[in-house]
Structure formats: C-alpha cells, structure tokens
Structure 1
C-alpha cells in the first residue's frame, strides 16, 4: 500500500490491493474516484504505474492498457508524509478504504520520477526483507516476537500445542504462556533439542527430546501436551513422557498472552530457560484445550516484531 493524505484525509491518494487486484483511489477535495486492475495475487512480481491529474486517475499494470476514471478537483493538498505498506497505530484508514497492511514485497518505488531509498525510512515497524524464493509459514528473524490472545490465555489442567519448525540455531523460544506468579508453560530449543516446561504452581517439570540435533535447517514436527498427571512430547513421531511429581497441583492458572518466538523484556516468563529469540520458520501452529482446537494465525496477531507472518525463505 502507498498513501499520501492530509491530516483529515479529505485529499488523498491510495495505491493498494483489494480482493487480489491493484486499486488506485484518489480525492482532490471534490469526491473520490478509483480504478481496479486485473488479479495480481499470484506470487509473481508486477510493475505498477499510477497517475493522478486534475481530470483523471490512471492505473497501468505490467504494461497493459491503462484503466482510467474521471476525477474532480483543482489540486492534491496533502501532508509531506508518505506511508508505504500500511498505516501507523492511531491513524484510522476507514474513510480511505485501508484496513490492513500489505502482506508482500515492494521494490523500485518512485514518486514523480524520484526513486525512493527504502533502506532509510523516517520510521518503520515490522518491515523485514523479502525472500527470493519463499514457502508457507512465518519467519522469525530472532530479534522480536509475536503476541496473540492479548486478553490472556488460561492453560488449566489440559493443553496441547502443535507446530512445525525449521531452524539452524541451537537455542530459541517457541512459545511462552505465564502468570504473574509461577504458573506457566514454556516450549523452547536448548542445545539443539526441544524442551517442554510446565509449572502448575508447585514446581517446574521439564521434558526434553534426545537424539540427533534438531537445528539442521530441516522441517520438524512437534506436539507438546500437558495433562493433570504428566507431560508428553512428540518430535517427528518419537514420543517422550514425564509424570507430574506434584499430584496436589494439576492446573496451570495462567492469565498472560501467548508469546511466540520470544517475549518483551518487561514480561516475566516462568517456564523458559533461554532468552534467545527464535530464528527460523514456524508453520501449522495450533493450540488445543479440552474441546477447543485453535489455529494460531500470525497475520492477525495483536503485536508482531521481527516476524514475517505469511512467508518463509525456501530452504
């Protein structure tokens, strides 16, 4: 998405995606006009040219015949700030039809013939590199995290988390769910093995995989399950189990958000032993509790930093 607008969004130019097609919208102060391209959400690079004049808006994609529409107004009265890819928090894009950030890549952006240096923005948030070849999943660069279920998640007596991961780092955080006290669940990579930690309030119980190192850059599948009486861990079909040595304590009374790939410095996590953020790819994440089996969609996370939610570099 590209946006030029005044403070009240009376005059604006927006270039973005709508239903898989490029959409150019503009208002010179006397009513909006817009045009649409053909479908472009095919994973390939496309060349887009947009023009706004006093009389018309024009949109050309991949050298095709321009799509045009008439517009009324004298000139475009906008602020000097140009937004690329999305809008910052606090800016309401409802009037101009902007509801989400661009989940894709931009390059060779120019405005009125001047090439923009995208490596030196005035500010940026959750902007990562594009991948020459990508695959399904979410990429974590090791510097941030994803926050889901902002209002808090209660683990309780039974819970299971399943995911697939690919990494070349021997340490990193997969998942952390905690409370203000000691109750918590943590899933992490330590010395190239998966470690599952649970504290129901009486003390930490840990379960660790064994065998070949899992930081080999290949995809691995894991399922970590907590019950009242113990823990089970499955890594690529190999099963591990540990009994709960505290039978009087069977429920993890957590109330904090779910953190993936890391967690903020201001947040305490009682069942994670490493501080290193996860660097690699995660996919097919699911969190299950009793009859609820929820897929975790990072594209709709409450907060993302250092995460590309819908793309992983191909191995």
Structure 2
C-alpha cells in the first residue's frame, strides 16, 4: 500500500516538467538502493565548542651527559710507547698522585662551611710508602699557631690541631700503606678531636682548650707544601714529606672543596705504574733532567750504568762538564754514543743498533759506559762496542752530573750531538758499582721521581 501512496504523491506533485524529473530520480534511488535494517541515531552537534588547549610535552628533569672518549696518544713512529700529555694534568675523579717532586701539592682558596665551633674534614687516600706524608695542612692568618694537619708518619695517621690553646693530637694504632683506598675523617668539636678511618673510630679521642678559635685561611695545602717554615715543622711534629701516593674526594662539612688556587706537580693516579724516574718530552731548547752530585769529577776511571725505557728514539742520557773536559752519553740515530774530552781532543765509542727503534720497544734496556784513562767503551744489554781511544788520562769535570737533559738548551751543551733530551723512564743508576739515591730535590722541570707509567 505504501507504493500506492508514493505514486499518488507523484501524480499530485509532478504537475510540471521540473517536478516530474525530480520525482523520477527519487524513485530510482528508492528502488535501486535496499532499505537499511539498522536504525542510526545521530547526536546533535553541541551548540558550544569546548576551548582547544595545547599541552607541552613533559620536560625531563634528568641531566644530559656528553661523554667524550679521549683519543689515545700516538707514539713516535717506530716506538711502542707514547707520551701521554694527560699524565701531568690529572683527574679529580680518579685522584691526583703526589710525592714525585718535593713541591708537589694543590693549594685551595677557601674551605666551605663554618669552622669556629667545629668541623669535619674527609679525604680518601692510598699509598704504599713506608711513611706516607702530608695529606692536609691549613693555618689561620690571624693566629698562625692555630692550625689543622693530617699526615702519615710510619704509615700511621696523625691528626693534629690547635684552636687557641694546647695542641691536640690523635694517632691511629694501625698502619694504612697497603696501596688500598681508605677514607679518613677528622672531627673537631670545640676542643674535642677524633679520627675515623673507613667509618671506624681509630686512636684515642683528644680534648684540649680552645681560646678564641680562628678561621683557617688560604693557602690551604693538599698533598704537600710549597715551602716549609719552622712553625709548620713544629705543627707536623718535626716530620715532613709530600704525600707519596694518591688523594681524592676532599670534603669539609659535607661539601667538596673545589676552589683550586694552584696545582703543582700533581699527576694522574693510574694503576699501571712501576719504579723509576719519568722524563716528559723535550726539545733542543727545553729539556727535563735530574741534577745529581754537584762538583762531579769523572777522573781517570769511571763506570756508569742505567736502565732505560725510551719513548723516543734519540736523546741525551748523561752529561758532565769541566772548563774544557766533558763526558757525554746519548742516544743517536742507530747508535748509543759515549763521547769524552780529556783536554786534548774528544774521542768516543759507538754501539751500533740493528734498528734505530730497537731501544724504543717498550722494554727496559741497560746502557753502560766505561772510561779508563784515555779509553772509553759503551754497552747495551751486556754487549759492548769497540773501544774509543784518546789522549791524556784524567777527565777533569766539576759541574753537576745531569741525567736525561740539562738546565741549558741542549744545542748549547758542549759535546752533545742530540737535538733533544730523553723522554721516557730511567732507573737503577749505578756509578762505580754504587747505586745512586735520587732525592726529590734533584728533579728539574717535567721530571718525576719514583713512579713511571707502564703504558
């Protein structure tokens, strides 16, 4: 019946050609498309649109770190070991090595936090030295007799302080030169002082009178001193040496001490080390050296030997001079040469190397020079050269004996053919069958005593 109603409507509406065409289209759509069996309800659009907001992406509070991997230093062509410039720079996270020079230390400008009523001071150390040495020292510029010192003597920790009265002292019973890292904390609460190592109390607590305590002021020394006065020696109970080992993590009142005023001859604290004297790189105008035995006389006979581990293929090993006479030992291209002047013309001996880099292979080699009157010979690892012959017998020298370089520019040192000083390590210097003891004061320029990097 609905079809009848549709056609009735068509007949009624389609009385004009336009309406007739329109209804024909409607009928076609109706009969061709099947009716839907589902009822779709469309919700009316809201009359008010909600405001559009844009939220920024969450910001991370994590700190971004950029890790730059350091390019390993490259050795001289043909050599096994390189000179690492970072060795003399150091790193506060891995620690600084002190005690390779008599003046090695770090000076800080100030200490954080309050001090008058009390404080706590913490630092981490390691050493294998029989004593240890100075770890920390500071005094007051208002009253120089007020001070704080932490040092190791005979491998025992000492904590000494004065706050305007008597001097307090706490000494550990145990020793700590086992080459392991240890953390020491010293606490002063008014006149009471105590010492802890690795969180354990060590030594007996001390108690002294504090009369008008003063603030500790710069210079604040870490690892050593720049100069030693009679007053400081009294504070240190008559014992001083720079700390022979590594230090890191200096804290005062729970805050790191960071304001470095000056850093002098403190090195990287590396694990791969061995005994010896380390010489940094040099040129013909500036070399590094040991200055041994003032007024050294070669005389009629002498035997000098040393073990070397070079980081370059050429360099000056030894020199000593008189008004005319001299004795030189040096590494040259493809040879080790001993050159002697007795006053009537130089003469020399040369040990030829099969390869000019054969001594630069990362291993220790023994160099030996023997001079007897007008005859000289030089040996490498037990093998000797032919003798060099001269005139006259005595080599009358009177300057200091220099090892590895010279105070003067290399180009101005008489009898030297090298263009630079020695770079690398030297150990076991023996003169006339007597081992030479090397004091820290002998080191000149970039020379460090007691520790050589292996790599």
Shift of 1:87: 1.8
- Partner Cα separation in structure 1 for residue 340 and residue 331 of structure 2: 15
Shift of residue 300 of structure 1? Answer: 4.3
Pair 1:269 & 2:408 matched: no
The reply to whether residue 166 of structure 1 matches residue 309 of structure 2 is: yes
Aligned length: 305
Which residue matches 2:21? none
Matches within 5 A, 1:11-22: 11-22=146-157
Supply the distance in 1 between the matched residues of 2:269 and 2:317 (Cα, whole angstroms). 23
Aligned to 1:280: 424
Deviates more, 1:124-133 or 1:255-264: 124-133
Q: TM-score, normalised by structure 2?
A: 0.61
Shift of 1:90: 5.6
Question: Residue 203 in 1 paired to residue 364 in 2?
Answer: no
SS state of the match for residue 123, structure 1? strand
The equivalent of 1:237 in structure 2 is 382
Which residue is equivalent to 1:308? 448
Pairs within 5 Å for 1:2-81: 2-6=136-140, 9-37=144-172, 38-67=174-203, 68-74=205-211, 75-81=213-219
Q: CA deviation at 1:164?
A: 0.8
Query: In the alignment, is the contact (CA less than 8 A) between 1:145 and 1:304 conserved in 2?
Result: yes
1:39-76 per-residue CA deviation (whole Å, 9 max, x = no partner) reads 11122222222223312222222232243322321424
Partners of 1:125 and 1:305 within 8 A in 2: no
Matched, 1:297 2:437: yes
Deviations 1:285-304 (A, max 9, x none): 1122xxxx432222344444
220, 225, 228: which one aligns with 2:373: 228
Q: TM-score, normalised by structure 1?
A: 0.86
Structure 2: state its 5+ residue gaps: 1-133, 283-287
Match of 2:249 in 1: 108
Q: Mean Cα displacement is larger for which, 203-212 or 259-268?
A: 259-268
Q: Who is 2:276 aligned against? A: 137
Deviation at 1:271, TM superposition (A): 3.2
The structure carrying a bigger strand percent of its residues is 1
1:116-148: CA deviation from partner (whole Å, max 9, x where unpaired): 44xx84334433333222122222223522212
As a proportion of its length, which structure holds more helix?
Answer: 2
Relative CO higher for 1 or 2, CA cutoff 8 Å, sep ≥ 6? 1
Secondary structure of the residue aligned to 1:94 is helix
Structural RMSD (CA): 2.4
The CA distance in 2 between the partners of 1:153 and 1:124, in whole Å, is 34
